[in-house]
Amino acid sequence: MYTSEKMTSRQQFLHVMEYKPVDAVPNYEAGVWNQTIDRWRGEGLDTAKLSWHWFWGEDYFHLTPREYIRVNYGMMPPYEIAVLKEDDEYETVRHANGVVTRALKAGASRGMRACMDQYLRFPVTDRESFHALQKRYGAGIQDRYPRDWKSALLPGWKDRQQVLVLGENCSTLGFYWLAREWMGTEGVSYGWYDEPELMHEMMEFIADFTIQVSKPVLQETDVDYVMLNEDMSSKNGPLLSPAVYKEFIFPHMRRLVDFFKSSGVKYMFVDSDGNPDLLVPLLLDAGVDGLWPMERVAGADPHLFRKKYGKQLRLTGGVDKMRIARGREEIDKHLAELCPLMEEGGFIPTVDHTVPPDVSLANFTYYMKRKMDLLTGKF
């Protein structure tokens, strides 16, 4: 699995994806809660020395840099953010995506809640409201792309030494993600059965819109991967059945993946928290190459997924954040369990989501030190 040949970070990524030897596996992490930053500051970390944009890299923890093409796939214009009601304990807010929530103030840190909001209203309730929402998703808007990107950024993308990704994290949104954002979990769950025509129209629109917005960039450069954010699973499995996925989403997912790969996208990943196991065969049939973050508390064990799906499915994530919180002995034991996957390839270990505040600075620092040993074959 390992070689003494010196590689760029892009070569490292590509070799891992192709199960080829590397001098080191890329060192990726997603980030931390704001509450975690607060804790680590109290434990002595000079937090001003860090960027806290870990998808792009972080020198302090030796994270491997990646570059993201900042395409805006969201609403243009967004809804006006407004506090609709507020008291000492709660505030009711309309967010930029049109969703109205009631949130507990206690425990929040710089806008990040310590618990889930209560979701009150969503922008789509029927076909008429969906058609009204579509007006916020015009594809041919120049402001969706970085200013002067063809002259200022494109030359570097074409002559890159690091991984290039189309869309920042949680910008390239998938079919289930957007439907749930527009209708809510309950609304979309009923929608498959009560409003099938609307749901078919919605899935077709998502694919068409994503393709149209992506085309101008992909006509100019190839990219190394796209991460389609879906979050369509819970601890107990997917939030929709394989039959529903196959009928409503699969044809458009396959069409979207075909477009990406025919336009120079090397790998297609899907982000889903929880355990998406039951949907993996359909994802593979659609041309998906990998999953992230392999959330361990939900039973998304990378060893089991590799045994079940083989090398066709690349895996990223799979480091149990709860075990990191337990200290050095547990960290060593946990990382040692990942050695066979590291030797085989097609696996990049990261914490299985952002790092929560029950992980101390000392434990995370030790995890990163021992993880570097794992990434370089010295564990």
The pLDDT of residue 1 is above 90? no
What are the pLDDT digits (tens) for 45-58?
Answer: 999 999 999 999 99
Closest to 371 measured CA to CA, from 346, 337, 345: 337
94 lies in the same domain as 214: no
Confidence at residue 324, expressed as pLDDT on a 0 to 100 scale: 98
Assess if residue 1 is contained within a domain. no
Assess if residue 4 is contained within a domain. no
d(CA 102, CA 91): 6
What are the pLDDT digits (tens) for 237-254?
Answer: 999 999 999 999 999 999
What are the pLDDT digits (tens) for 7-30?
Answer: 999 999 999 999 999 999 999 999
Q: What average pLDDT does this structure show over 183-199?
A: 98
328 lies in the same domain as 200: yes
Q: What average pLDDT does this structure show over 330-355?
A: 98
Confidence at residue 183, expressed as pLDDT on a 0 to 100 scale: 98
The pLDDT of residue 66 is above 90? yes
What are the pLDDT digits (tens) for 219-232?
Answer: 999 999 999 999 99
255 lies in the same domain as 114: no
Structure tokens at 250: 């699969």
Any bridge partners for residue 351, and if so which? 319
Number of domains in the chain: 2
58 lies in the same domain as 201: yes
Assess if residue 39 is contained within a domain. yes
Q: pTM (2 decimals)?
A: 0.96
d(CA 348, CA 328): 21
Domain that holds residue 18: 9-74+123-375
Confidence at residue 97, expressed as pLDDT on a 0 to 100 scale: 97
Please give the C-alpha separations between residue 22 and each of 10, 11, 38, 345, 355, in angstroms, as whole numbers: 11, 8, 36, 9, 27
